[in-house]
Amino acid sequence: MIPENIFRANDIRGIFGKDLNQEIVELMGKAFGTFLSENKTVVIGRDGRSSGKILRDALVTGLVSTGCNAIDIGIVTTSTLYFSVPTLKADAGIMITASHNPKEWNGFKLCDNNGLIYHGNTIQKLKEIIEKNEFRKSQTSGEIKNYEKIFEDYSNYVLQKIATNRKLKIVVDAGNGTATLVAPSLFEKLGYEVIKINEELSGEFPGRGPDPTKENVLGELKETVKRERADLGVAYDGDGDRVVFVDDLGREINSGSIIIMIFAKDILQKEKNRKIVFDCCSSLVVEDFIRANGGIPVVERVGHSFIIQRMQKENAVFAGEYSNHFYFPEIPGFDDAIFGSLRLAEILSKGNEKFSQIVDSVPKYFYKADWVFECPDERKFGIIEKLKEKMKLDGYNISELDGVKVFFDDGWVIWRASNTRPMILAFLEAKTEERFNELQKFAEKELLSVMN
């Protein structure tokens, strides 16, 4: 039996040895090969987790049994995997990673020939193929090749799109993840002085763990930035697709909303009346800020696939999520934390303002994100539906775009089921501290009333 909970909105993800083992992963490889059809070529990459090589071998065994070919690009960042598929003229790609999840987790992100991820119905289609045992049988196995120059290709591509106007001192915290293989060298090639911490690649993540947005994990980065009088600190997650910044005062800028506004202002100075997409958990300020700077704000639900689809539909020039994912249409796959950090450094290098001054110039309300309520995967969506009905019956003004969001004149609350973990997340924002405290009590009370 395949565990139901591993098939998620945007990827396949679970705990190695419990939800994922070699037998299950080989079936996934066969299912993806069946879905693609014979003689297709799939690029395979993985992050540095200890289980990655085992899962890679099982995945490729299943894949080539259907007549598909595999190109193994080794240990890479997720954005490099997305980049590799159109670059190598492949038909699809698979990144073996659990991204920011703890070290015992692993999983699979699947993408098409443009480096854009498969999600939703495709993930469920693979599940159906496995359950029905409807695998393609091929007369001959596919070929397996290695390609070892993908970081060189990626670096050459990215460096053409970034300018440097003055030298900066940057502290890079790779978190023992795959960003260490490419991010420091790119900053150095651009002429910046780079100080590296947690630079050893390790699937055990001994430095701080793979999630840079978790509370109290960036102490070393903040202290190093202050001690070295650096202009910028950068921290990546386990597979290099999420980034958190530290300013020159050693303050952690973990609100994606602030960075969205900084990017938006820079882009809209050159391109007025263009659309910028952001998710429904971002700050109220973002929408007003984009309009004030001559842009057109577009709100979308949380999630890589939803954001990218909306970007394409709206021909948007940029997108961002509260969770520190940033999307650039000039990059294959769009979602690229490495490129995002290079772009932020470029913005800083163009002027004489310190990062802290730019951050302080951006408007802010009282905001809380990713407030975690543990909840089994099999219950979390049902609880959100119960809460949605309760809010309707109680007469609140709500949005059902993603989970349930309740609007007030001076703030909002949203509850949504996590796409990647067994939990419900709450978010809230208010214009005053007093109202913020009131909405915290409201958010917890209303959720617990339908959970218990």
Q: What is the pLDDT of residues 407-443, one digit of tens each?
A: 999 999 999 999 878 899 999 999 999 999 999 999 9
Q: What is the pLDDT of residues 83-118, one digit of tens each?
A: 999 999 999 999 999 999 999 999 999 999 999 999
Position 5 pLDDT exceeds 90: no
- Single-letter residue type at 111: C
Which member of 51, 84, 99, 341 is catalytic? 99
Q: What is the pLDDT of residues 204-242, one digit of tens each?
A: 999 999 999 888 899 999 999 999 999 999 999 999 999
Average pLDDT over residues 197-208: 96
Looking at every residue in the chain, the average pLDDT score rounds to 95
Instruction: Specify the pLDDT at position 37.
Output: 86
More confident residue, 2 or 125: 125
Average pLDDT over residues 130-149: 95
Is residue 349 flagged as an active site residue? Answer: no
Which member of 274, 325, 421, 435 is catalytic? 325
Q: What is the pLDDT of residues 342-365, one digit of tens each?
A: 999 999 999 999 999 999 999 999
> pTM for the whole thing?
0.91
More confident residue, 390 or 37: 390
Position 137 pLDDT exceeds 80: yes
Which member of 13, 100, 304, 421 is catalytic? 13
Average pLDDT over residues 115-133: 93
Q: What is the pLDDT of residues 57-93, one digit of tens each?
A: 999 999 999 999 999 999 999 999 999 999 999 999 9
Residue tagged 């996934």 (tokens): 28
Is residue 99 flagged as an active site residue? Answer: yes
Which domains are seen in the chain, by residue range? 4-148 (3.40.120.10), 366-451 (3.30.310.50)
Is residue 325 flagged as an active site residue? Answer: yes
pLDDT cut 70: percent of the chain above it: 100
pLDDT band at 9 (very low <50, low <70, confident <90, very high): confident
